[in-house]
C-alpha cells in the first residue's frame, strides 16, 4: 500500500482542486487542508484503537469534505472490512485500483470483501489481476488468493535469497498476515489464528500493515 506521506500529499492536492486555489492565490493556506489531515489522522487513530466502525465513519467524513480524496483511501477499505461493511469495502478497493493498479494488497482486500459479501467462488472470479508488484512475497500471495499457489510457496519466497534479519522479519510479517486472512476467508479459523498471531507477535512490525495484524487478533480475541 502507498505510504501515508504520499497519501496526504495526494489528498491535499485534491482539496486544492476542489476549492483551495483562491486561498493560495491570496497567500493563505486553505482551512480544509487541516480538516482533511485531522480526519485522516482520526480515522487511523480510531482503527488502531480497535474501533473500525468509528474509523470508517471518520474516513467517510474525510470524503464528504474532499470527494477527490476517495480513491486514495485504502485505509478506509480496511476499516470498512473490519466493521462489516463489505460491499462498501469492495467499492473502495475497486476505486483505489484506479490510482494504484499494481498493488497485490489491494487485490487481496478486495477478495476478502467479496468473499464475505458473496462467497469464495465469487471472490476468486472477481480477483483483480496484478502485474508489477515486485515486493516479496506479493506475487506468491496473489497466486494463493487466485487458487494457483500455496502457503508453502508464500513462505518459501519470504525466506528466499538470504534476506537480512530486518527484511526477513518484514517479509514474514506480510506473509503471515495474508496467509491468516486467506485462511480465515476459507473458514479455517485455527490456521488463521496461528498465522495472524505470528504476524502480530513473532514477526511484529510497526508499519501500517503490521499494526493491522495486531488489530486483527485484538478484535478476534486471539492469543497464542
What pLDDT shows up at residue 129? 98
Phi-psi region of 145 (alpha: psi -120 to 50; beta: other; left: phi over 0): alpha
Residue 169 lies in a domain: yes
Residue 212 lies in a domain: yes
Is it the case that residue 116 has pLDDT exceeding 80?
yes
Q: pLDDT band for 36, please (50, 70, 90 cuts).
A: confident
What pLDDT shows up at residue 1? 83
Residue 221 lies in a domain: yes
C-alpha cell at 209: 500493515
Q: pLDDT band for 33, please (50, 70, 90 cuts).
A: confident
- What residues make up the domain containing 173? 134-224
Q: pLDDT band for 2, please (50, 70, 90 cuts).
A: confident
Question: Measuring CA to CA, which residue among 214, 135, 208 is closest to residue 180?
Answer: 214
Residue 52 lies in a domain: no
Residue 26 lies in a domain: no
Distance between CA atoms of residues 127 and 131, nearest Å: 13
The structural domain count of the chain equals 1
C-alpha cell at 128: 483483480
Question: Measuring CA to CA, which residue among 80, 85, 130 is closest to residue 106?
Answer: 130
What pLDDT shows up at residue 187? 98
What pLDDT shows up at residue 111? 99
Residue 151 lies in a domain: yes
Query: In sequence order, what are the residues at sequence separation of 6 or more whose Cβ sits closer than 8 angstroms to the Cβ of residue 71?
Result: 95, 96, 98, 99
Is it the case that residue 29 has pLDDT exceeding 80?
no
Distance between CA atoms of residues 193 and 71, nearest Å: 31
Residue 119 lies in a domain: no
Residue 106 lies in a domain: no
Is it the case that residue 13 has pLDDT exceeding 90?
no
Q: pLDDT band for 44, please (50, 70, 90 cuts).
A: very high
Query: In sequence order, what are the residues at sequence separation of 6 or more whose Cβ sits closer than 8 angstroms to the Cβ of residue 20?
Result: 30, 32, 33
CB atoms closer than 10 angstroms to residue 58:
22
Is the model's pTM score more than 0.85?
Answer: yes
Distance between CA atoms of residues 67 and 181, nearest Å: 30
Q: pLDDT band for 17, please (50, 70, 90 cuts).
A: very low
Amino acid at each position: 500500500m502507498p505510504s501515508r506521506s504520499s497519501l496526504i500529499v495526494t489528498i491535499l492536492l485534491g482539496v486544492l482542486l476542489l476549492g483551495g486555489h483562491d486561498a493560495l492565490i491570496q497567500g493563505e493556506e486553505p482551512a480544509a487542508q487541516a480538516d482533511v489531515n485531522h480526519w485522516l489522522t482520526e480515522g487511523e487513530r480510531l482503527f488502531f484503537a480497535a474501533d473500525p466502525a468509528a474509523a470508517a465513519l471518520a474516513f467517510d467524513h474525510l470524503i464528504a469534505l474532499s470527494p477527490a480524496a476517495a480513491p486514495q483511501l485504502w485505509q478506509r477499505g480496511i476499516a470498512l472490512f473490519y466493521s462489516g461493511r463489505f460491499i462498501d469495502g469492495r467499492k473502495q478497493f475497486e476505486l483505489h485500483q484506479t490510482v494504484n493498479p499494481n498493488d497485490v494488497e489491494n487485490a487481496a482486500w478486495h477478495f476478502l470483501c467479496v468473499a464475505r459479501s458473496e462467497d469464495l467462488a465469487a471472490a476468486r472470479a472477481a480477483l483483480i489481476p496484478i502485474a508489477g508488484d515486485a515486493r516479496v512475497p506479493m506475487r506468491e500471495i496473489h497466486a494463493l488468493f487466485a487458487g494457483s499457489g500455496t502457503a508453502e510457496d508464500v513462505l518459501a519466497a519470504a525466506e528466499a535469497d538470504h534476506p537480512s534479519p530486518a527484511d526477513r522479519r518484514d517479509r514474514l510479517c506480510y506473509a503471515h498476515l495474508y496467509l491468516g486472512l486467506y485462511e480465515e476467508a476459507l473458514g479455517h479459523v485455527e490456521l488463521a489464528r496461528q498465522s495472524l498471531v505470528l504476524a502480530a507477535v513473532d514477526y511484529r512490525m510497526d508499519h501500517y500493515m503490521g499494526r493491522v495484524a495486531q488489530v486483527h487478533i485484538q478484535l478476534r480475541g486471539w492469543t497464542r
